[in-house]
Amino acid sequence: MLTWMYVNKRGNQLRLVGLLAISFVIIGCKTQGDAATAANQMAATTKTLSDYYGALDKVLANTQEAYDAQTVINQAPPPDLSDTRQQIQLREKLATEFSTLSATFATITSSTAPTDASTAAGQLNTELVSIKALADNATEQKVLTSAVQLVVSLLQQHDEIKAARQIEPVCNALLKFFNSESQFYDSINKNYLTLASSNAKAMVKGNLVDTSSLFRSSLDPFSLTPSIDSQTIKTGMQGYLDKQIDSTFASKLAAAQNATQALSDSLKEMDARIEVVTKDKVLSIALPPVTLDTVESWVSTITQ
């Protein structure tokens, strides 16, 4: 049984690296085509996982800037978020490597040429040794590369079902790992929006924002540009702008939380597909989980 847990900073034993890679390919497919499809689906899912972590890192970068802005507003000393960012960046890197590994596994399963499979296997091992968490542990690295070789061998023999049955627990472990940390991810998003909202309202109250946006829809048809100098109008706009801040806060928070849930649902869906295939059934779904679209949509709003 191939079960590794990657040791993260919290001490949880979650080494998913090689097993996750293995899971896609193996997914109990009867045909080479099914194996490649499953591997590609997992590559897409873990690619989105990587994108999610990248967006979360951007949120932390924005949070750091917002703390710096708060220092200007009310002299609150800013914290240092570098440790937190480092942890998220590590998860992003791992997810990226999982995606690369699974795509390579897809190549192996769809390859009929022995040399292609050997080349892909070599590439896999190169990816594995580049993962820092493994590079620091020679024993784990040896075990993992041996496991990869075993899986590659099984795939080359087209014994996907046997290989897949060793993988399903790992995919389940990835799902549990993500779910165990999802509350932290949501909290990071909520913190940024709360901080930004506080700063924004302080600036509105201090007449430090451009209040002309409300008037553009009235002036644009006539090619006119607003020029708000009246203190009365600026003060009168504060209630409107505060409401705008509150409603935008709510919608952006909901979008972030929906993205986290959608990613959890995607990982759960992949785990379910793998389990179906290990029971010697046909993988009938050709596309990655549709819930990935919700995640990518949120990612695009953060990273644009």
Partner 1 sequence: MGDALNALETTYFTLQTNLNPTLAACPDQDTKDQVMAQYVAARQNYWSCINHAFHDDDPALQALVVQVDAANTSLTTIADHLGDITTVIDDITKVVTIGEQIAAKVISL
When binding is defined by CB under 8 A, the residue of 61, 68, 73, 287 that contacts partner 1 is 73
- By CB under 8 A, tell whether 72 contacts partner 1: no
Interacting positions 191-230 with partner 1 (CB under 8 A)? 191, 194-195, 197-198, 201-202, 205
- By CB under 8 A, tell whether 61 contacts partner 1: no
Distances (CA, A) of 10 to 13, 135, 159, 189, 195: 9, 19, 37, 20, 26
* Least distance between partner 1 and beta carbon 222 (Å): 38
Using the contact rule CB under 8 A, the part of the chain among 50-58, 80-88, 94-102, 236-244 near partner 1 is: 80-88
Distances (CA, A) of 228 to 205, 219, 234: 16, 13, 7
Using the contact rule CB under 8 A, the part of the chain among 111-119, 124-132, 171-179, 189-197 near partner 1 is: 189-197
Q: Which is nearer to partner 1, 68 or 159 (CB)?
A: 68
* Least distance between partner 1 and beta carbon 75 (Å): 7
Q: Which is nearer to partner 1, 9 or 222 (CB)?
A: 9
Q: Which is nearer to partner 1, 134 or 188 (CB)?
A: 188
When binding is defined by CB under 8 A, the residue of 1, 9, 217, 229 that contacts partner 1 is 9
Interacting positions 234-293 with partner 1 (CB under 8 A)? none
Q: Which is nearer to partner 1, 81 or 214 (CB)?
A: 81
One-character DSSP codes across the chain? ------B-TT--B---HHHHHHHHHHTT-SSHHHHHHHHHHHHHHHHHHHHHHHHHHHHHHHHHHHHHHHHHHH-PPPP--HHHHHHHHHHHHHHHHHHHHHHHHHHHHH---HHHHHHHHHHHHHHHHH-HHHHT-HHHHHHHHHHHHHHHHHHHTT-HHHHHTTTHHHHHHHHHHHHHHHHHHHHHHHHHHHHHHHHHHHHHHTT-S--THHHHHHHGGGT-------HHHHHHHHHHHHHHHHHHHHHHHHHHHHHHHHHHHHHHHHHHHHHHHHTT------S--TTHHHHHHHHHHHH-
Look-up of token digits 């690296």: 17
- By CB under 8 A, tell whether 65 contacts partner 1: no
* Least distance between partner 1 and beta carbon 205 (Å): 8
Using the contact rule CB under 8 A, the part of the chain among 9-17, 130-138, 147-155, 226-234 near partner 1 is: 9-17
- By CB under 8 A, tell whether 89 contacts partner 1: no
- By CB under 8 A, tell whether 79 contacts partner 1: yes
* Least distance between partner 1 and beta carbon 90 (Å): 13
- By CB under 8 A, tell whether 189 contacts partner 1: no
* CA separation for the pair 69, 53 (Å, rounded): 24
When binding is defined by CB under 8 A, the residue of 1, 72, 77, 222 that contacts partner 1 is 77
| Residue ranges binding partner 1 (CB under 8 A) | 9-12, 73-77, 79, 81, 83-84, 87, 183-184, 186-188, 190-191, 194-195, 197-198, 201-202, 205
